[in-house]
């Protein structure tokens, strides 16, 4: 039984890593399309989203089967529940990439304005957070997960600065209202991606330490080691 | 054992209903403050959010204990996992109410423009979706949950109409750019609240029927009745 559980947990990990790779690719193509102003590349985001949605259903189903058939406890139970939550975050990250594609396509349809400096900075920061949160999960690296959590404020600041500049652009030139609004919405999408990476990192910390650090609480997992 | 499980499941239900009531109150005060232009009432949203965050941690902890100690299977397992997911959605709904308060306070700071007709319509629609999704959970009412899922497109349409009108307001008068942007962001917050209510409704359908209807898939739960 113990051996079967181990194999199933490894299978879960493999599936989650594959889904994470699809999310990273979706974000990569969305960012490239935006920054290189390449309308066509946005289409690829939708292809990755389809894969992410299929991964989502498949992974949830595997988790439920594992819970029902293997009845994991302690660390293994925390791991499976964390995978269920990380799965939800990854799926919504796919949605945010689609939102970037949607807003990006509209942005390119109107009189061109350059993305302000904060947008490429946010792209780099958020892509690093997504990569690090997934690496932390695979490598069971709690320090890396803590680093991701610490990056969240920086992304929020970049978004606020971005908003401020883009409002000024809109106030100065009515023709730029629509594309500037699209960039504002993209900045918001990127911020949400950063939030999801932070949720994943918090999930990693919980899975491997039993500590729940959300909302600034620090609640030790109350489970006995073996029940 | 069976009896203890029943009691713990009822406890879970009670806790989730309480949390849901806090989310409904947060949305109620945020909506009132916005539509009555009452700066002070926004403050109450933060008080409800604190409660929601505490509920969130508490409910997750209860679910983990139940999974570890009672090892629920079949319908009971689906129920507990659905509660874990609904809990996540409720917590994020609290965040969206805080976002409405944040954008609403800023909106009231600037030259007053009236919220376009779509915003009060969205408020009513989304509040009904939130209420119905929670009622569906308590009453085990799958038809009501399906109704919530069917409302999602209507909210998206109201948001799109709202965006279109507010962009025109911004293009006509630079002084109205900031408050109109705040209303656009509030429309987006309301749309997200509708998405979360939809997620909850999908969770209710899964908990009580074993059917996973997300992403247009219809995947029957593969669990045997008793494992």
ipTM value greater than 0.95: no
CATH 1.20.58.220 fits A2-219, yes or no: yes
What is B2-220's CATH number, 1.25.40.10, 3.40.50.1220, 1.20.58.220, 3.40.605.10? 1.20.58.220
- A74 Ramachandran zone, left/alpha/beta (phi>0; psi -120 to 50): left
Contacts of A193 (CB under 8 A, 6+ apart): A27, A93, A96, A97, A126, A129, A130
Residue located via tokens 């030790």: A220
What pLDDT, in 10s, does the model give residues A144-174?
999 999 999 999 999 999 999 999 999 999 9
- Which residue of chain B comes nearest to A99, CA vs CA? B188
Contacts of B106 (CB under 8 A, 6+ apart): B178, B179, B182
What pLDDT, in 10s, does the model give residues B161-216?
999 999 999 999 999 999 999 999 999 999 999 999 999 999 999 999 988 888 77
Contacts of B166 (CB under 8 A, 6+ apart): B116, B180, B181, B183, B184, B187
Sequence spans of domains, chain A: 2-219
pLDDT number for residue B211: 87
- Count the neighbouring beta carbons within 10 Å of the beta carbon of residue A222: 12
- Which residue of chain A comes nearest to B195, CA vs CA? A92
Contact B177, A170 (CB under 8 A): yes
Mutate to test the interface with B, among A1, A55, A67, A203 (most CBs of B within 10 A): A67
Both structure tokens of A131? 């990569």
What pLDDT, in 10s, does the model give residues B60-78?
999 999 999 999 999 999 9
- A170/B57 Cβ within 8 A: no
- A212/B61 Cβ within 8 A: yes
Residue located via tokens 């009531």: B21
Distance from CA of B82 to the nearest CA of A (A): 11
Distance of CA B47 to the CA centre of its chain: 17
pLDDT higher than threshold 60 for residue B221? no
Paired sense of beta strands A211-212 and B219-220, if any: unpaired
Mutate to test the interface with A, among B22, B55, B68, B226 (most CBs of A within 10 A): B68
Whole-Å CA distances, A215 to B50, B60, B218: 9, 13, 35
């Amino acid at each position: 039984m113990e051996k079967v559980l181990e194999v199933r947990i490894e299978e879960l990990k493999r599936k989650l890593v594959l889904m994470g790779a699809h999310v990273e690719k979706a974000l990569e193509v969305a960012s490239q399309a935006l920054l290189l102003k390449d309308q066509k590349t946005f289409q690829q985001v939708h292809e990755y989203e389809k894969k992410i949605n299929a991964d989502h259903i498949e992974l949830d189903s595997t988790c439920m089967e594992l819970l029902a058939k293997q009845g994991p406890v302690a660390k293994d139970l925390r791991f499976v529940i964390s995978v269920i939550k990380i799965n939800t975050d990854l799926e919504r990250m796919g949605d945010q990439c689609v939102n970037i594609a949607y807003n990006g396509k509209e942005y390119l349809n109107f009189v061109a304005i350059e993305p302000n400096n904060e947008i490429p900075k946010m792209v780099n920061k958020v892509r690093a957070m997504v990569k690090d949160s997934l690496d932390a999960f695979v490598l069971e690296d709690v320090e890396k997960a803590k680093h991701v959590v610490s990056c969240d404020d920086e992304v929020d600041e970049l978004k606020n600065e971005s908003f401020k500049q883009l409002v000024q652009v809109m106030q100065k030139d009515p023709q730029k209202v629509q594309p500037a609004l699209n960039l504002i919405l993209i900045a918001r999408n990127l911020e949400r991606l950063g939030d999801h990476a932070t949720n994943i990192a918090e999930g990693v910390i919980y899975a491997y330490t039993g500590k729940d650090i959300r909302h600034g609480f620090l609640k030790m997992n109350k489970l006995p080691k073996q029940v």
